[in-house]
Structure 1
Amino acid sequence: MNSKKENAGARKVRKWRAYFLTAVLAITFICNSSGIAYADNGPGELYARAAVLMDADSGRVLYEKNGDEMLPNASTTKVLTCILALEEGDLSDVCEVSAYAASQPAVRMGVRAGEQYLLGDLLYALMLESDNDAAVIIAESVAGSVEAFAELMNQKAWDLGCESTYFITPNGLDAADENGIHATSATDLARIMSYAIQNSEFLTITQTDSYTFSSVDGTRTVSCTNHNAFLHMMDGALSGKTGFTGNAGYCYTGALRCGDRTFVVALLACGWPNNKSYKWKDTRKLMEYALEEYEYRTIWREPELPELPVADGVNAGGELTEVARVSLRVDAETDPEQWRCLLGKTEEIGTELILEESLTAPLSAGTTVGRYVFRLNEEEIASCPVVTEETIEKVDFFWCLRRTIRLLFWGNRVDSTSRIE
């Protein structure tokens, strides 16, 4: 009787042990499925459906949650609208309001068809108040039409490496056409923001707390207030743009600079009413994680460079051996301060020396024969050429003829370098 109870108990233990191991394997798979190795376990739970933390200087994704999923992104679109206007337009350009621009829904300046404004002023309405009519006026002024401006937007996004972006409107309002819906990914949005903050005029606009301007004829005055609360949430807050539509939910992209580190956050579908504060909580969590876990470290390591054999060659200086050999050097600035990388606390850099398998004379000094590669998580992040230190001549009829002539005229003075070992 007791043995039956013991057998039943053992089977029960084995069953629960199997359940436990299955659960562990499932959790491990889920945690590793993103393919990105984080500095530790990441920043923790986020409200956003999609989120990315990016090193703005290198474009490296430091953390992602559904980072490549295309989602509506609302008025964060205006980051690209603004940077395109700065690059393609002139701040002193006079922009006339069309009937279509005047028909845009709130948030809006409330312009009327025929009114005129300076492009530079409209950019403040675009980025501080997120006015939808300002976005259309800008697009029509810069490109002639919203459709033409959308083509510029998509080409610019592609040029920046954005592969999951399709924009239809300059203001980010929900839209769809035969090619899809107006959307981007958190990774692409972070790329766009990382590019935009390199522009000093973009920073000036997005860091302004309030701005007032008038129409060209002075009949209307417009006041703008910056709604980017992140600017006053954390030291080093650099820029940012909010967004909301019914399809997109609350969205945000922002940047922070601390010393030599610059981080960008992008959030999509970060709650719906009444959860307006979720984007600020996620942004702070990601930025605090970045500041705690990532810092610049020197990655340079002096490589051990071999001498490579050179077929049909004679050693530098004219010494004949059975196989000639050439010395190598790295062709790069080896000052350790020039070789710094933003790394997590537990991340380490690997190095690899990749050299030509065979060399044949003649070979000039400075010839590239390989690379010295630096890798992070198996991905190449930097490299420098490996080149020959000296010239290796080819042993042929003419080399022998020259050597014979030298022996005839200079005799034993060259004999010590002409022996074969």
Structure 2
Amino acid sequence: MKIKRFLSLFFAVMISLHLAPLAAADADSPVLPEDPNILAKAALLVDANTGLPIYAKNEHEELYPASLTKIMTALLVFEAIEDGKLSMDQMLTASSSALMGLADDGSTAGIQVGETMSVQNLLYCMLVVSANEACNILAEAVSGSVSAFVDAMNAKAKELGCENTHFVNPNGLHDPQHYTSAWDLYLITAAAMQYDGFMTICDTAHVVIPATNMSEERDYWTTNHLLSTWRVIGYRDTRAHGIKTGSTDDAGHCLVSSAMHGSLHFISVILGAERVEEHGVGNIRSFSETSRMFDYGFDNFSYQTAILESEEIQEVPVELSEMDHVTVHPAQDTEVLMPKTLSPEDLERSVELQEVVEAPVAAGQKLGTLTLSYDGITYATVDLLASFDVEASRIQTLLRDIQDFFSKPVVRIVGVVLLLLLIFLVVWKLFLGRRRYRYGRSVGRRNRSSYRGRRRH
């Protein structure tokens, strides 16, 4: 019994000693930010500078976007303006077809058939007030008809790389076949944000639409409660800029926004949030959860210099040169947005290089890539460039060229043919020679044996 107890104690001690370093290693591992568990069907927070998602929930799920659709409509309008098809001060007249089929309880700016308004003011009505009729008026101006404009919307979505998007109308009124995803909306929004006028309009809390031929001056406030307390209090977020709200019974409450603070700039997407009662007060979660996502980003992430351009990464073997290698370095100093609990030393480096490179090699020539990642998340990928010139050896290059020449299939075939021809000639020569020799000797013998000469009598 004593021996059994001794062995049990011995093995227990050995196991504990073996596990102790592992426990210490785990304790020293960086602790990643805790999941904020955003309350919505889908949510996404992306670094606007690098396109790196730092929070994602069901980001590729097909969901109804409601009036977030108008971001795509605005993108096509701004493209038309850039192409010279429209101008901001161009006056457009509302047609009867543009106002057909709109929901009676949908968002509107009260634009009437025959009313004339500038493209710029129609954009304000669409993006600030979320006017459905403004979408159709602009769609007809860009493409000639609403249906043709919808085709252009779907074509643009495909061009941007949207894989879970299909539009049926320019305004987002509910249709079972009208859907997108949080990630696709990010792609669409990032494209629209390239136009300064887009963010100027989306970030407007209050706009006055001048009097028209059929209406007095209009005074409107944004539907985005992060930008204004005029409609509802409790959601104002001074970090927020734009972008678009959306809401239907089927889509729930949706919001695309952006926020800036210091060097950080985020784009957020919320789809399918609810309105709930909390402590007797209504809470529209598309706004409150967006602010929580912003808190998560600003509190837990920062830019850090992960790698320097001057750092020598690795050597690449070189052929056809007196120098047998060339070193590579990153194309530029690389800053990455990553959790504050991580340091650049924690990032895993994955190097992809050409196995061998032929001289000549020029300084700055791309020879591979370096990927920085942690826990399955890629934070940056940077090109690796040759650090210096490597000249080619003329002799080695000549020998290589000769070898390459004779390794070509055509040359090999010609060589085989010539070799066979040579063999044939040699065989034929030998065979013909032997034949001549044989027949020559037999004739001589026959002549000598048959010669009798003249007999003397």
Equivalent AA in structure 1 for residue 95 of structure 2? S
- Tell me, yes or no, if the aligned pair for 1:50 and 1:65 is still in contact at 8 Å: yes
Correspondence list, 1:331-410, <5 A: 332-333=331-332, 336=333, 339-347=334-342, 348-360=346-358, 362-366=359-363, 368=365, 370-377=367-374, 378=376, 379=378, 381-387=380-386, 389-395=389-395
TM-score by length of 1: 0.74
TM-superposed deviation, 1:376: 2.0
Deviates more, 1:324-333 or 1:102-111: 324-333
Q: What residue in structure 2 maps to residue 278 of structure 1?
A: 285
- Number of residue pairs aligned between Structure 1 and Structure 2: 344
Q: What residue in structure 1 maps to residue 197 of structure 2?
A: 201
Please tell me whether residue 225 in structure 1 is matched to residue 211 in structure 2. Answer: no
- Mapped to 2, the partners of 1:397 and 1:131 lie a distance apart of 70
1:40 aligns with one of 30, 33, 43: 33
SS at structure 2 position matched to 1:70: coil
- Tell me, yes or no, if the aligned pair for 1:354 and 1:372 is still in contact at 8 Å: yes
SS at structure 2 position matched to 1:265: strand
Q: 1:376 to 1:210 in 2, by over 3 A?
A: same
Equivalent AA in structure 2 for residue 135 of structure 1? C
Please tell me whether residue 188 in structure 1 is matched to residue 188 in structure 2. Answer: no
TM-superposed deviation, 1:123: 0.8
1:149-191, Cα deviation, whole Å (9 max, x unpaired): 1122222222222211111111100024xxxx11111111122
1:44-99, Cα deviation, whole Å (9 max, x unpaired): 3x321111111122222211111111111101111221222122132122222122
Correspondence list, 1:245-264, <5 A: 245-264=248-267
Equivalent AA in structure 1 for residue 122 of structure 2? L
- Tell me, yes or no, if the aligned pair for 1:136 and 1:171 is still in contact at 8 Å: yes
- Mapped to 2, the partners of 1:153 and 1:290 lie a distance apart of 31
Deviates more, 1:263-272 or 1:102-111: 102-111
- Mapped to 2, the partners of 1:101 and 1:223 lie a distance apart of 23
1:224-265, Cα deviation, whole Å (9 max, x unpaired): 211211125223211121111121111111110112211111
Equivalent AA in structure 2 for residue 139 of structure 1? A
TM-superposed deviation, 1:193: 2.3
- Mapped to 2, the partners of 1:186 and 1:352 lie a distance apart of 30
TM-superposed deviation, 1:220: 4.1
1:98-131, Cα deviation, whole Å (9 max, x unpaired): 2233342232122222222111111111111111
Q: 1:54 to 1:309 in 2, by over 3 A?
A: closer
- Mapped to 2, the partners of 1:52 and 1:331 lie a distance apart of 30
Equivalent AA in structure 1 for residue 250 of structure 2? N
- Mapped to 2, the partners of 1:226 and 1:305 lie a distance apart of 52
Correspondence list, 1:88-99, <5 A: 88=80, 89-99=86-96
- Tell me, yes or no, if the aligned pair for 1:307 and 1:325 is still in contact at 8 Å: no
- Mapped to 2, the partners of 1:354 and 1:98 lie a distance apart of 58
- Mapped to 1, the partners of 2:73 and 2:227 lie a distance apart of 21
Mark the runs of 5 or more structure 1 residues left unpaired by the alignment: 1-37, 316-323, 400-421
- Mapped to 1, the partners of 2:363 and 2:161 lie a distance apart of 34
Q: What residue in structure 1 maps to residue 305 of structure 2?
A: 298
- Tell me, yes or no, if the aligned pair for 1:57 and 1:194 is still in contact at 8 Å: no
Q: 1:253 to 1:359 in 2, by over 3 A?
A: closer
SS at structure 1 position matched to 2:291: helix
SS at structure 1 position matched to 2:260: strand
Rg (Cα) greater in structure: 2
Q: What residue in structure 2 maps to residue 162 of structure 1?
A: 162
SS at structure 2 position matched to 1:371: strand
- Mapped to 2, the partners of 1:398 and 1:219 lie a distance apart of 83
Q: What residue in structure 2 maps to residue 408 of structure 1?
A: none
- Tell me, yes or no, if the aligned pair for 2:157 and 2:188 is still in contact at 8 Å: yes
TM-score by length of 2: 0.69
Equivalent AA in structure 2 for residue 268 of structure 1? L
Q: What residue in structure 1 maps to residue 57 of structure 2?
A: 65
Equivalent AA in structure 2 for residue 183 of structure 1? Y
Q: 1:394 to 1:199 in 2, by over 3 A?
A: same
Give the root-mean-square deviation of aligned CA atoms. 2.7
Q: 1:222 to 1:325 in 2, by over 3 A?
A: same
Q: 1:389 to 1:121 in 2, by over 3 A?
A: same
- Mapped to 2, the partners of 1:309 and 1:102 lie a distance apart of 68
- Larger relative CO (CA 8 A, sep 6+): 1 or 2? 1
Identity of aligned residues (%): 28
SS at structure 2 position matched to 1:395: helix
